[in-house]
Structure 1
Amino acid sequence: MALKLQQLQSKACQASKFLSKHGTPYYKQLLEQNKQYIQEPPTVEKCNELSKQLFYTRLASIPGRYESFWKELDYVKNLSRKWKDLNVEDAGIATLFGLECFAWYCAGEIVGRGFTFTGYYV
């Protein structure tokens, strides 16, 4: 256990040195590349306004996403009715839709447990 702790401390020290050496140039480069997204003046009020815009924009997009969900579901139902005429492309789309539903179910279960993973022993 002590050996693992020393290894972890060593890696943390290496990461800290790397960040102190390369962090500032990377930060400046990142800001320069994305300056078109920076709002002026950079104040708390502007940040609050942008966060409200994002929230209400996402809220306004819910009806469109809801409608597209039901269209996808109807498409899958229609495919299941005529499964004998199913081609590879339609089967792939249906499989991806099922996997997406399963992934959302798994994510919901993880969130419901308070972001804890059960069943794994490390």
Structure 2
Amino acid sequence: MASKLNQLTSKACQASQFVAKHGNVYYKQLLEQNKQYIQEPPTVEKCNLLGKQLFYTRLASIPGRYEAFWKELDYVKHLWKNRQELKVEDAGIAALFGLECFAWYCAGEIVGRGFTFTGYYV
């Protein structure tokens, strides 16, 4: 355990030296490449204003997303009513989507249990 701690300390020291040597250049390059996104003057007040703009813009987009959700739901209802005319490709896509949802659910359960497959800590 002590050898692993020494290795970790050594790696952390190397990483901090690398950042100290190259971090400033990377920072300046990153700012230069993305200067079109920087608001002038870069103050706390400007950041607060942008945060509020983002929040209220997202809030204003809810009715549009709500409407789009109901359109999608109406489309699914229409497909369900006319399922006799459903093509094999559409059924396959729906089955794959359901399988993907189930797989993400299973992955979430595994992550929630601490990456154990049985649910028990051994």
TM-score scaled by length of structure 2: 0.70
Structure 2 counterpart of 1:9, which letter? T
Structure 2 counterpart of 1:48, which letter? N
Shift of 1:74: 2.9
Distance verdict in 2 for CA 1:48–1:100, change over 3 Å: farther
Q: Which of structures 1 and 2 has the bigger CA Rg? A: 2
Task: Output one character per residue of 1:39-83: Cα deviation in whole Å (capped at 9) or x when no partner.
Answer: 111111111111000000011111111222222233333334416
Q: Percent identity?
A: 61
Distance verdict in 2 for CA 1:26–1:119, change over 3 Å: closer
Any residues of structure 2 matched to 1:1-16 within 5 Å, and which? 1-16=1-16
The aligned residue for residue 113 of structure 1 is none
10-19 or 91-100: which moved more? 91-100
The aligned residue for residue 89 of structure 2 is 88
| Counterpart secondary structure, 2:42 | coil
The aligned residue for residue 113 of structure 2 is 118
Shift of 1:91: 3.6
Runs of 4+ in 1 over 6 A off after TM superposition: none
Matched, 1:73 2:73: yes
Instruction: Note the aligned Cα RMSD (angstroms).
Output: 3.3
Q: How many pairs are equivalent?
A: 114
Q: Distance in 2 between matches of 1:11 and 1:55?
A: 40
Task: Output one character per residue of 1:62-112: Cα deviation in whole Å (capped at 9) or x when no partner.
Answer: 1111222222233333334416523425642674477469859x87x9xxx
Q: Distance in 1 between matches of 2:95 and 2:68?
A: 15
The aligned residue for residue 34 of structure 2 is 34
Q: Distance in 2 between matches of 1:57 and 1:40?
A: 21
Matched, 1:57 2:53: no
- Structure 2 segments unaligned to the other structure (5+ residues): none
